[in-house]
Amino acid sequence: MQRLSFYDEISANKRNSYILVFLVFVFAFAAAYVFSLVLFGESLFGLLFTFVASSAYIYFTYSNADKILLGFSGAREAKKEEFPYLVNVVEGLSIAAGIPTPKIYVIDDPAMNAFATGLSPQKASVAFTTGLLSNLNRAELEGVAAHEISHIKNYDSRLATLMVVMVGLIAILSDVGLRMMFRSRNLRSGKGGGAFILLGLVVLILAPFIAQIVRLALSRRREYLADATAAQLTRYPEGLASALEKIKKVGSAVKNASDASAPIYFANPISVGQLFSTHPPIDERIRRLRSM
């Protein structure tokens, strides 16, 4: 079996992630442009209004996403008196990663899962289910915690939040644009007439679907990146691989997870087909870890 380098794996995943992020922004721009044409015609004011309103939506949703997620998941703060083992592991790995210790939370759920959230390492949080804590030994817990710390270190939590917000914006623009398209004379009266209508339909129908597929592909890329960074951090890929094997047997479906929150979890918290999965196959993650 060919041995993989931590650094090669990290570099390849970062490069592919940049390409996928760029694609999501392209689809967002296309949807916003068509939306502006439908509602305002070829108007500079309409285009500026659309982009200002879209930017405001992105800012306010993005800024409050971590608070919403922690509240929705039912997470409670992990006190050191109650969870000394967990707190010590997270504190030690944070020091090793060179980031501030994130706020630590516990979710009362028998499923085995965890997540990291926050827009920067200075304002980050990690949460672990009680099912995860009760089923893993120290090496395995260190592997999972290192994976979540890696998400914070690599700014994956920020990126995942931004992608969820961007895809949500594209869906809103497309939905409203499609509803208004056949009532609007702006496209029909513009240059190209019917060609503009056809092109607008294609953009508004396909943009949300393709952007969602790209977001999920990006999420899978960042999971591989966090696995590789965690292995580099602990210098013991087997701990994380063993944790993944246990999670595959016990299950990772969290009761309060949703499609929007799924990308930030350690393992897929909802049951979907692989094309629409936020995470790569567990077997492939294990294979990659054991090839390092």
Report whether 207 contacts 267 (CB < 8 A).
no
Mean pLDDT throughout 236-256? 92
**Structural domain boundaries in the chain:** 6-290
Q: How does residue 183 score in pLDDT terms, banded at 50, 70 and 90?
A: low
Buried/exposed 134-145: b ≥16 CB within 10 Å, e otherwise:
ebbeeebbbbbb
Pairing between β-strand 76-77 and β-strand 103-107 as defined by DSSP bridges = antiparallel
Q: What secondary structure does DSSP assign to 82-127, as a single string?
A: T-HHHHHHHHHHHHHHTSPPPEEEEE--SS--EEEE-SSGGG-EEE
Task: Report pLDDT for 88.
Answer: 96
Task: Report pLDDT for 192.
Answer: 46
Q: Write down the catalytic residue from 9, 140, 142, 148.
A: 148
Residue 194, pLDDT > 80, answer no
Q: How does residue 40 score in pLDDT terms, banded at 50, 70 and 90?
A: confident
Mean pLDDT throughout 180-189? 62
Report whether 64 contacts 119 (CB < 8 A).
no
* CA–CA gap between residue 116 and residue 114 (Å, rounded): 7
The answer to whether residue 148 is catalytic is: yes
Q: DSSP letter for 155, please.
A: T
**How much is the pTM?**
0.80
- Residue with tokens 């013991």, as numbered in its chain: 236
**Other Cβ atoms within 10 Å of 177 Cβ, number:** 24
